[in-house]
Structure 1
Amino acid sequence: MAGLFLKTLTLQTLKTEHNGIRRCVGAHVVQKAALAQLSLVASAPRLPCPTPAKAFSTAEDTQDERKKRMNEAAFSNIGRKISERIIHVLDEKGSDLGNMHRADVIRLMDARDLRLVRRDAGAEPPVYQLLTGTQIHEERLRLRERDKATPRAGPTVTKELTFSANIGQHDLDTKSKQIQQWIEKKYKVQITVKKGKNAEEPEKKVDEIFNQILQTMPGTATFSSRPQAVKGGKAVMCILRHLSKKEEIAHRETQGTQKGGPTNKESGNDRESDVLHQ
């Protein structure tokens, strides 16, 4: 009986140890697999997270758009947000109401259903005006029309033209018309005339070409840069531009004086003959 008990106890002990070893081995295998999977996740390259990109457009931030926004911001209803305690006020008819406390201005706005716009923030105290909504709208339209009528300052466009000194008269006339069109658009025109194969070709021939082109635009164009040798003396280059307003007036006065000269002289001779006849 005792022998049977010892045999059963021994078998139970061996079974328990076997289960413990199996659990330990299983845990080790699971832990190793988990570490391997973690290593694969860590080594995998991370895809960049997409970030929203703001579209770039030069048309949205042009000088004209900025100027338009500034004008509208400078001439807009500020509501009741008057930062200054005392302001100088004009009414909707332009009459001077003098310096007023902002509380009194707000009460006046409510009583007469008017809006408040800033006229001169740099003054002391700053100048504001009470206007109707219609007046504000009309003033904004006027500012827009004024901006459209104002000439836009920008870089002067330069056109380039190159041809040979042996050009035929028909081709030269065609190029002269093209140059004239560019000048009328206030472009600068850079003209390069290449000399012929004869290196001893006189400069006078090239100068005559430039003068002939310039004579097709009397009172319109002049030299911005006078003819000068380029490309080691193998060509001559000049730049033409449109006359300025002052130069145009001076040219017309000169032409008028030249036309009036002979007439004045003839009238003077007539007067002298009248004196002689008397």
Structure 2
Amino acid sequence: MAALFLNRLTLQTIKTESNCIRRCFGKHIVQKSAPAQLFPTASAPRLFFLIHTKAFSTVQDIQDERKKKKKDGTTFSNTGRKISERIIHVLDEKGNDLGNMHRADVIRLMDERDLRLVQRNPSAEPPEYQLMTGVQIHEERLRLREREKARPKTGPTLTKELIFSSNIGQHDLDTKSKQIRQWIEKKYKVQITIKKGKNADEPENKMEEIFNQILQAMPGMATFSSKPQPIRGGKALMCVLRPLTTKEENEYTETQETQKKDTLNKGNGNDKESNVVQL
């Protein structure tokens, strides 16, 4: 009986040791084979390269947009000696047409006269360039900058507001008229409200006269966007002035020139009549 118990204990011990050895080796095999499972993740760097390629294409798009701006002539700069075209059409610094020239001849001419080369019309065939001095390039940049500032800005027109009483003195009215003129020059609309004064002896049309006086202080610049109309139960008048459009400015200029010519013609006619009478 004791021998049978001892035999079972020996078998149980061997079985337990075998399980322990299997577990240890199994863990070791899993640890060794773990790096092999990392191979599927090796595609991660490929994702990085895809992102990098997309970023590069975005930069390329920006470069293409800059090239388009240069071709559209929005920039004005010295081309230097890097002329991409083999044959170009050239104007000299005085605007004289030199005809089509090879780029090597143009570079030689630049060196001889100490001139710079500026692209004028890239869409022409062949492209048109002009030789200019450094001073001419500087002056042209200033002119383009001033033209860009004078160009009306896109977007909603801003409105300035001004309120004062009809009892305003002439000096203060001149000051406010000057301020309104400056706003009109900047292409603002100006809303003017004149409150009726407390003076009982004030003429009924005094507020309208003030509006007309303000408008006459800036001839050929502004007109009524909305004419004076009573507000606050007739205790005030309000109007809106706006800058003249380009068409209206041209029409005003033509009218003024016509009136000057008529005045001169009448003056010359009177002189002729007086000469005839004296004879």
TM value normalised by structure 1: 0.48
Structure of higher CA gyration radius = 1
